[in-house]
Amino acid sequence: MPGQHPTTPHQHPATRRRSPASPSGLRVGVVGTGYVGLTSAACLARRGHRVRGVDTDHDKITALGRGEVRIGEPGLDELVRRGLDAGTLSFGTDLASLSEADVVLLCVPTPSGADGTADLRAFDAVLSGLDGVLAPDCVVAVKSTVPVGTTDRAARALGRPAVSNPEFLREGHAAHDFLHPDRIVVGAHDDAAADRVAALYAGIGAPVVRTDPASAELAKYASNAFLALKLSYVNVLAELCERVRADIADVAAVMRLDPRIGGAFLSPGPGWGGSCLPKDVRALLSTAGQAGVDFALLADAVAANEHQHDRVVRAVRTAVTGTPDGSLAGVRLGLLGLTFKAGTDDLRDSPALAVASRLSAAGAVLTGYDPGLDRAAADSTASAGVQLVDDVSLAAKDASGLVLLTEWSEFTRLDWAHLAELTERAVLVDTRDLVNPDELARAGVRCHRLGR
């Protein structure tokens, strides 16, 4: 049933005595303290609920208990510390500590398996661990991105209503997106269970879409896959612009003025990646295949994304050697940005690292700088052939070219004249169209941009 605002939740009589809920909120358990789980726990505590986060990682839980957040997410550390100080947020490793919860959110990872399907082993282990632990009227809500039918399977396994409550958080903006969402999706067969989950967000001001669990589960995959389609489209369009001597910035500016298209995700780049889009696209393709649907459009978007990595390498070859087939053997390159997007320390499925791996395989000697990374990430970048440095000047020193791969705003404020002096050849391949070309020209830097 579609609706705009949550109703007052029905209360099921419990057969065991429980301490009374907080007058200003619900007792909430959050299983999994990764990006989604920790953000959900901290933000729900900020909204006045009493939240218990549970994870199997003892070291992580100990650190969180001290207010130490190991995820590079703006504002999240402050929210965790405020929740701990206020007594509305706590952490532990024992699922039994959720025995008095009104709602339990499942936020465990569901990575891609070898065949593209979601790996639900961690999810199923949690279901097994919760069996017999929860109070009779506790509602389980699935925030993990899961295949269609998983929420119904969880309900059968636990013998209670389960609700699909997918997250739509952007890394780098996760806390803001949770507290100021553009929509809240509640998929359930049981109205009382749906009301209980919707009550978590009461007064938040966003539209609440009430639907069945399958539609809610599919909506998450569909949303991320559409963003991937849009990014692949603009990257292929940028290549076309180069061939016909058009300008992708002007073409995209015209497109953005059409409200049917919208302005976001219309900038070319080195490809799409991160912890969500690649995984969710593969899972949706798997779901479509199992259902007998030929989702060729989405498969082509994946192929276009792989092609984009190779296209960036050709752009680097052209900029540095003068020809798209020029040798990069022994050529020193400085990479600016290695995370999959600005505002995060996440290297998972980073297009920057995909490009770096190809450059390294071609014989290039790579030094990389990223303002979101510290020395602890050196092993991860080394696997892509990149020596991580903590100063952009070290990335530029003696380089035959610089390649900007992540859209950190810091890069717009660099002293490009100084960097030009450090390089062997003052060339920048700006895959994000981030830096003002006039500023680069004044600094003596020759700039190559995609789609121009």
E strand or H helix that includes residue 335:
strand 332-336
Structure tokens at 95: 């699922």
DSSP annotation of 9? P
**Average pLDDT over all residues of the chain:** 93
* Residue of 43, 107, 276, 447 with catalytic role: 276
Residue 398: name the closest of 421, 415, 422 by CA. Answer: 422
Q: Which tens digit of pLDDT belongs to each residue from 280-312? A: 999 999 999 999 999 999 999 999 999 999 999
By the 10 Å C-beta count (0-12 exposed, 13-18 middle, 19+ buried), 182 is classed as exposed
| Amino acid 13: pLDDT | 31
Q: Which tens digit of pLDDT belongs to each residue from 198-250? A: 999 999 999 999 999 999 999 999 999 999 999 999 999 999 999 999 999 99
Q: Is the model's pLDDT at 433 over the cut of 60?
A: yes
Q: What CA–CA distance (Å, rounded) separates 32 from 60? A: 11
Q: What CA–CA distance (Å, rounded) separates 333 from 405? A: 12
Q: Are 87 and 119 in contact (CB under 8 A)?
A: no
Most distant CA atoms of the chain, gap in Å: 76
| Amino acid 85: pLDDT | 97
User: Is 276 tagged catalytic?
Assistant: yes
Whole-model pTM over 0.95 = no
Q: Which tens digit of pLDDT belongs to each residue from 12-42? A: 333 333 444 444 589 999 999 999 999 999 9
Name all domains of the chain by residue range, CATH numbers in brackets: 27-211 (3.40.50.720), 230-452 (3.40.50.720)
Q: Which tens digit of pLDDT belongs to each residue from 413-427? A: 999 999 999 999 999
